[in-house]
Amino acid sequence: MTPAQAVLFPGQGSQEKGMGRGLAEAVQDAMDLWKLAEKASGLPLREIYWDGDDAAMADTRNLQPAMTAVTLGCWLAVRGKLAPAGFAGHSLGEYAALAASGALPVEQVLELTSLRGRLMAEAGGSDGAMAAVLKVSLEGVEDIVARAAQATGRTLIVANYNTPGQYVISGHREAVDQAAGLCKEAKGRAVPLAVSGAFHSPLMAEAAAELEKVLAKADWRTPSAPVFANVTGLGESNPEKLRELLARQMTSSVRWIDTMTALYEAGARTFVELGPKGVLTKMVKPCLEGREDAQAVNLATREALEGFTLP
């Protein structure tokens, strides 16, 4: 029997010019997703991502509904070939995972990601920042975060546990800058991220509260397979619990290492990332070091989706 798959959906940072265009121009279902995303957001998303510039493509208002349309288009093209042990998405990608699993209707997910993009943009400002920390152990990163927060009296947390060699910190800019200096002392590196605010930190509390009101009214259903939540890294099938976890996501850490481990323990051996660039594909091996039977594949183009067969 072929081992089951994990279906992964990327988030912000995976965008690229022309993404999803070839599939949408060839497959009506994929084009319809772009149209639904444009209706939900009130934005000319195809114009921005098929003909726009990097600044417009990086704007979280545009990016969240557009990336969701792209990744769900990929899912529609390949879903008949997969038998998922679970679904997971990195930050924004968790919304596509919920739609693909059937936990939320696609139309509502596009409306939610449009709202999320607006709320996160409005919650930005000059006081929040994020940075990727490289070449520092988890214990070292957690120590640096605690010391920087104490020294500045400002908020700072580990926002993303991406791989055992890559973490992201988020909080007040003063604390992030302090932590960057401590990283240098520890022979590591803190790379500032081009984001508009301190995402996945308590600084997003006001935006998260607004989003939670809308999540409470959504049409939650039991998913076809568990959705592995960013907040816990664990699989969940209870609709009410999925809602609660998603409501916490914007202010909580993304526990991606735990997510990959839990998916593997649930039986996944092939990790299929649906979307541009293959950022999550590159994270699979570091997260599952020593598990030689785990393999990853990135599917984003029409040709790759149509030609995909299970190993």
What whole-number distance in Å separates Cα of residue 57 and Cα of residue 34? 15
CA distances from 186 to 135, 148, 154, 157, 170 (A): 9, 13, 21, 18, 19
DSSP string, 195-242: -SS-TTSGGGHHHHHHHHHHHTTS-----SS-EE-TTTSSEE--HHHH
Q: Mark whether 201 is an active-site residue.
A: no
The candidate with the shortest Cα–Cα distance to 130, out of 188, 191, 55, 185, is 191
Task: Dig out the tokens for 157 from the structure.
Answer: 């947390």
- In the chain, what's the furthest Cα-to-Cα distance? 56
What whole-number distance in Å separates Cα of residue 195 and Cα of residue 217? 29
Q: Are 124 and 263 in contact (CB under 8 A)?
A: no
Per the DSSP assignment, residues forming a β-bridge with 87 are 7, 227
Q: Are 267 and 104 in contact (CB under 8 A)?
A: no
Catalytic-labelled residue, pool 200, 201, 252, 253: 200
Per the DSSP assignment, residues forming a β-bridge with 88 are 8
What whole-number distance in Å separates Cα of residue 11 and Cα of residue 280? 9
Q: Mark whether 90 is an active-site residue.
A: no
Catalytic-labelled residue, pool 91, 201, 252, 253: 91
DSSP string, 239-306: HHHHHHHHHHHTTS-B-HHHHHHHHHHTTEEEEEEESSTTHHHHHHHHHTTT-TT-EEEEE-SHHHHH
What whole-number distance in Å separates Cα of residue 71 and Cα of residue 89? 10
| Residues annotated as catalytic (active site), given as ranges | 91, 200
